[in-house]
């Protein structure tokens, strides 16, 4: 079957042999093998195209921002359901009516990514520079902070928008339950309110990054998401953790170094 789950995790089990909750709960091995509920909360973000003018202006800051978002995000919100509009057909003396399908649409038009901010405000700095390069808050002009050039970096959407792929996996972190590509992403605000002051309050700052977004889903995007997940795998087993020390480090330690550890 051609479907949105092509190239990622699909469930082809024969549920017809499992009574679910009818007649009581049966969790014997044959039945429980089919009882595997969907669980969410295992997500990854892959920025596949950062804003081009920012990359040209400061590739190091762009690389840093990409890493902070991909590895430090704590929330991804804004994915909306697909819905179908219908039209009423009315007839007869009593005005009886029934509905026919009209348009299926996706109302996802923005997403919010929450990330931990760090001292020196690298996230705020990047978003502020990105946003004000598109439209200067004083003059209203677009200048890309000096990177704007008719030949090498002209003013156009592809030079100031970002694209990413969002992936939600099963609890193993290996098999994809859902994937989507978000395009035409631009910041809608930059958070500065964290610098308001209240006596005795010293919270760590988490910042919400709101972006415009257009969402796409397809089996081909699923394939790209699977390739990204495979390429950028993270630690899955705590027994594989590496301390960073080697046996040769231990051999080289003198008593003074040992006492300082």
User: Percent of the chain scored above 90 by pLDDT?
Assistant: 72
User: Does residue 129 sit within a domain?
Assistant: yes
User: Does residue 183 sit within a domain?
Assistant: yes
Structure tokens at 163: 């694209």
Residue 169: beta bridge partners? 176
User: Does residue 18 sit within a domain?
Assistant: no
Taking only the tens place, the pLDDT of each residue in 168-226 is 999 999 999 999 999 999 999 999 999 999 999 999 999 999 999 999 999 999 999 99
Does residue 252 or residue 176 have the better pLDDT? 176
Does the pLDDT value for residue 139 go beyond 90? Answer: yes
Contact call for residues 44 and 72 (beta carbons, < 8 A): no
- For tokens 């992403």, name the residue: 185
Mean pLDDT is lowest, of 19-33, 46-60, 136-150, for: 19-33
Residue 69: its pLDDT value, please? Answer: 96
The model's pTM is 0.88
Contact call for residues 234 and 70 (beta carbons, < 8 A): no
Residue 101: beta bridge partners? 86
Residue-level length of the chain: 261
Does the pLDDT value for residue 25 go beyond 80? Answer: no
Cα–Cα distance measured from residue 195 to residue 38, given in angstroms and rounded to the nearest whole number = 41
User: Does residue 22 sit within a domain?
Assistant: no
User: Does residue 9 sit within a domain?
Assistant: no
**Average pLDDT of every residue of the chain:** 90
Contact call for residues 122 and 61 (beta carbons, < 8 A): yes
Taking only the tens place, the pLDDT of each residue in 70-103 is 999 999 999 999 999 999 999 988 999 999 999 9
Tell me the C-alpha to C-alpha distance, in Å, between residue 177 and each of 44, 100, 131, 165: 12, 31, 33, 13
260 — pLDDT class (breaks 50, 70, 90): low
User: Does residue 21 sit within a domain?
Assistant: no
Could you tell me which of 215, 207, 212 has the C-alpha nearest to residue 161?
Answer: 212
Provide the domain limits for residue 109: 38-84+100-233
Residue 237: its pLDDT value, please? Answer: 85
User: Does residue 89 sit within a domain?
Assistant: no
Contact call for residues 51 and 144 (beta carbons, < 8 A): no
Taking only the tens place, the pLDDT of each residue in 101-118 is 999 999 999 999 999 999
Residue 249: its pLDDT value, please? Answer: 79
User: Does residue 169 sit within a domain?
Assistant: yes
The total domain count for the chain is 1
User: How crowded is residue 183: how many other Cβ atoms within 10 Å of its Cβ?
Assistant: 16
> 3-state DSSP: the chain helix, strand, coil percent, rounded to 5?
30, 25, 45
Cα–Cα distance measured from residue 164 to residue 215, given in angstroms and rounded to the nearest whole number = 10
Cα–Cα distance measured from residue 194 to residue 18, given in angstroms and rounded to the nearest whole number = 53
């Amino acid at each position: 079957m051609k479907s949105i789950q092509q190239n990622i995790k699909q469930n082809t089990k024969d549920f017809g042999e499992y009574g679910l909750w009818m007649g009581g709960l049966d969790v014997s091995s044959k039945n429980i093998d089919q009882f595997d509920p969907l669980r969410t909360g295992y997500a990854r973000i892959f920025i596949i195209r950062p804003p081009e003018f920012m990359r040209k202006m400061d590739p190091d800051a762009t690389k840093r921002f990409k890493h902070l978002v991909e590895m430090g995000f704590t929330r991804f919100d804004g994915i909306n359901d697909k819905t179908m509009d219908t039209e009423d057909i009315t007839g007869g003396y009593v005005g009886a009516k029934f509905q026919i399908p009209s348009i299926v649409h996706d109302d996802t038009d923005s997403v919010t990514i929450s990330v931990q901010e760090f001292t020196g405000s690298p996230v705020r700095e990047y978003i502020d520079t990105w946003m004000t390069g598109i439209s200067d808050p004083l003059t209203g002009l677009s200048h890309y902070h000096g990177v704007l050039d008719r030949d090498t970096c002209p003013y156009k959407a592809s030079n100031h928008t970002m694209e990413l792929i969002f992936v939600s996996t099963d609890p193993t972190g290996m098999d994809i339950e859902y994937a989507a590509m978000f395009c035409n992403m631009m910041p809608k605000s930059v958070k500065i309110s964290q610098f308001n002051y209240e006596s005795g309050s010293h919270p760590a700052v988490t910042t919400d990054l709101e972006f415009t977004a257009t969402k796409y889903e397809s089996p081909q995007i699923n394939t790209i998401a699977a390739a990204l997940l495979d390429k950028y795998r993270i630690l899955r087993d705590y027994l594989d953790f590496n301390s960073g020390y080697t046996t040769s480090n231990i051999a080289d330690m003198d008593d003074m170094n040992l006492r300082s550890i």
